[in-house]
Structure 1
Amino acid sequence: MNQFPSIIRVGLIGYGFSGKTFHKPLLMAEPRMRITCVASSDSVKVRADLPDVAVDADPIALMAREDIDLVVIATPNEHHAPLARQALLSGKNVVVDKPFTLTLAQARELRALAAQQGRLLSVFHNRRWDSDFLSVKAAIATGLVGRVAHFESHIDRFRPVVRKRWRENAEPGGGLWFDLGPHLADQALCLFGLPLAVHGDLMMQRDGALSDDWAHVVLEYDRHRVILHGSMLAAGGLTRFVVHGDKGSVLKRKADGQEAQLLAGMTPGDVKWGHDPDPLLAYDENGSEREVPALQGDQRGYYAGIADALTGAGPNPVPPIQALAVMAVIDAANRSTREKASVGLNLTDEEIATWP
């Protein structure tokens, strides 16, 4: 792995919602990194935020720059794999926004290419550092619910009108499951490992929908079930997490607030950054309820982990094999929806053995 004695120079490809809202502020909050160049067709928007950063409309030209150590890809989903491939072939270390790729074949190719090139390849699963997930993870780890029997993870919204944007179009990588599924699946795999089978149910519910806007996916384990759910027609009564076990239950009502804080212009690391005022509700064997304060979220942990990995101070926070497993869940849910039956993960013996 490359060693960086001072500053890691970053080339950011894409300055749409993800690049501007998430990657830019989190990269700027990591003192060991500096954004050197942005590839975007909207140079005016980039320069309004980053007046001292070079802008190039051509991502290939960005990859060829000698003053770039790490390429961050924050483009529409269908461009993730080809741009990551080219960046690796250009000798760069690479971070890809989720979803990793559109297919398992692409994910496998990139994993092998990164190993061949001796470069870091990681996927931006930033919601491992969300307050809601960290709080529920801690509750499970400390035995608050005992052995988990039932786990639900919801990302529900109320957007009844289909918007004109690529995420909601009928194009490769569009739809709610490709958008939110990687977050839901990655968190579940972090907690419970690889499932035995997946049962998926994806559909279009809204008038004028062009891609799936409702997803209900069940991960089947030996003694428990994990439900991953997303909807665009949920106006109220929302719950982020529900966990039932043989010693009690835990409920997390509201979601992590870091995205809302970023949209409001808060700088990562500010006094209120990642603070979550919504406690867990914990229920014991007798049904008695008590509040457990939520842990603080901090998505800066992702790029801190990347900096550690590049400088030899720590491991890759999201190595390719973990991102590939997420894509196996995404793929399985799609196959299950078509076949109307539970299906297994399409992973090789080597991939299963390598997954932590």
Structure 2
Amino acid sequence: MMSTPLNVGLIGFGLSGRYFHAPFLKVNPHFKLTKVVTRNAASVHEFDPSIEVISSTEALLADDSIDVVFVCTPNDLHFPYAKAALEAGKHVVIEKPFTNTTAEADELIALAEQKKRVVTAYQNRRWDADFLTIQKLLNDGTLGDVIEFEGHFDRFRPEVAQGTWKEVAAAGAGTLYNLGPHLIDQALVLFGTPQKVTATIKIVRSGGETDDYFDIRMDYADKSIILKASLMVFENNLRYVIHGTKGSFIKYGLDIQEDTLRKNILPNTENWGEEPENQWGTLYTEAGKATIKTLPGHYTPFYDNIYEAIAEGKELIVKPQHARNTTRVMELAIESSRLGKTMAFEG
């Protein structure tokens, strides 16, 4: 069992590395963020002057002092960098999506087992305030048996952004691979793998090169799951609509952690992740209409679990097979949309 912090190297220091991972790694005593591979040294040193900026992934992976590598790159680089890190004997955390294909996911999982290293995906939205609240409602039986679950991750960005890899026609770009892993992972956590997947994926903005709209239906024997994201939804506060045999729950507003992190507020501050009252959800049952206070969100348990898995041999919460199944749903959604038919879920 380790008692010293794990040394971390980040590959990439964009939105993910700078505003999601670096703040949590900085305040967590189990980790020490020591090196970052990026061309943006100024951003790194503005965050923490003690972090060393290096120019190549190869140099990072050759450093024997680095225990864990976080891959925070464009999606098409997730697999090659994660594979190289595992081959170098590092534990690996990959930004979502875990990989662009299930074949890549299977290869990483097998390699991690061979090397006896931890590999996982950053599915942080499992610790969003709204999702934690929904989990509690479902576990408590407040809604009874779920009949229909609808999750949204909408935005209003009518202009195609220039200079970002997410808007260029390339492997892993687009809204499905950007936002889909959040919604799909949440559905799989709650309900397991579906029987069937039906999807519509398209470009709705003029001049778009890659998808900016998806509607995915995941069917189970006793329930239907609807997952939607669009970059052309002006009123985009709706997050969840859940109907069960005992009631319904409707939730508006996005978890506040990302906005808080963008304000350079570290996640060890008081009342972290507590939503304002105007974002609390509404429960409808035979007893009437009730406002449900949202549980506080906090991504810290993800990092604590990574440490426990590496240092103490505990079970991962975000298992690589979970991440692989998320990629499989996306593959089936693409095929469904392309062929115009429903696809059976097969591993």
Superposed counterparts of 1:256-271, under 5 Å:
256-271=255-270
**2:155–2:236: 8 Å Cα contact kept in structure 1?**
no
RMSD: 1.1
User: 2:183 maps to which residue?
Assistant: 184
Provide Cα deviations, 1:167-199, integer angstroms capped at 9, x if missing partner.
Answer: 111111110000000000000000000000100
Q: Which amino acid aligns with 2:219?
A: E
Q: Which amino acid aligns with 1:316?
A: L
Cα offset, 1:30, TM superposition: 1.4
Cα–Cα, structure 1 residues 313 and 117, in superposed 2: closer, same or farther, change >3 Å? closer
> After alignment, is 248-257 or 177-186 more displaced?
248-257
User: 2:290 maps to which residue?
Assistant: 290
Q: Which amino acid aligns with 1:205?
A: V
User: 1:354 maps to which residue?
Assistant: none
Q: Which amino acid aligns with 1:149?
A: I
Provide Cα deviations, 1:252-280, integer angstroms capped at 9, x if missing partner.
Answer: 11121101111112110211310012222
User: 1:319 maps to which residue?
Assistant: 319
User: 2:168 maps to which residue?
Assistant: 169
What's the % identity of the aligned pairs?
37
Q: Which amino acid aligns with 2:98?
A: F
User: 1:104 maps to which residue?
Assistant: 102
User: 1:48 maps to which residue?
Assistant: 46
Q: Which amino acid aligns with 2:295?
A: L
**2:251–2:281: 8 Å Cα contact kept in structure 1?**
yes
> After alignment, is 41-50 or 91-100 more displaced?
41-50
Provide Cα deviations, 1:295-341, integer angstroms capped at 9, x if missing partner.
Answer: 01001111111011112163212121111111111111111111111
Superposed counterparts of 1:242-261, under 5 Å:
242-261=241-260
Q: Secondary structure at the match of 1:208?
A: coil
Cα offset, 1:237, TM superposition: 5.8
Q: Secondary structure at the match of 1:156?
A: coil
Q: Normalising by structure 1, report the TM-score.
A: 0.94
Q: 2 CA distance for matches of 1:314 and 1:29?
A: 22
**1:216–1:229: 8 Å Cα contact kept in structure 2?**
yes
Q: Which amino acid aligns with 1:13?
A: I
Q: 2 CA distance for matches of 1:169 and 1:346?
A: 30
**2:6–2:30: 8 Å Cα contact kept in structure 1?**
yes
Gaps of 5+ in 1: 348-356
**1:140–1:146: 8 Å Cα contact kept in structure 2?**
yes
Superposed counterparts of 1:230-245, under 5 Å:
230-236=229-235, 238-245=237-244
User: 2:28 maps to which residue?
Assistant: 30
User: 1:350 maps to which residue?
Assistant: none
Q: 1 CA distance for matches of 2:324 and 2:330?
A: 10
Q: 1 CA distance for matches of 2:51 and 2:346?
A: 42
Q: Which amino acid aligns with 1:101?
A: T
Cα offset, 1:102, TM superposition: 1.0
> After alignment, is 173-182 or 272-281 more displaced?
272-281
Cα–Cα, structure 1 residues 11 and 209, in superposed 2: closer, same or farther, change >3 Å? same
Gaps of 5+ in 2: none
User: 1:353 maps to which residue?
Assistant: none
Q: Which amino acid aligns with 2:296?
A: Q
Q: Which amino acid aligns with 1:319?
A: K
**2:154–2:232: 8 Å Cα contact kept in structure 1?**
yes
> After alignment, is 71-80 or 21-30 more displaced?
21-30
User: 2:68 maps to which residue?
Assistant: 70
User: 2:118 maps to which residue?
Assistant: 120
Q: Which amino acid aligns with 1:326?
A: T
> After alignment, is 268-277 or 31-40 more displaced?
268-277
Cα offset, 1:242, TM superposition: 0.6
Q: 2 CA distance for matches of 1:20 and 1:183?
A: 19
Q: Which amino acid aligns with 2:54?
A: D
Q: 1 CA distance for matches of 2:223 and 2:261?
A: 36
Q: Which amino acid aligns with 2:31?
A: M
Cα–Cα, structure 1 residues 48 and 119, in superposed 2: closer, same or farther, change >3 Å? same
Q: 2 CA distance for matches of 1:256 and 1:55?
A: 31
**2:154–2:236: 8 Å Cα contact kept in structure 1?**
no
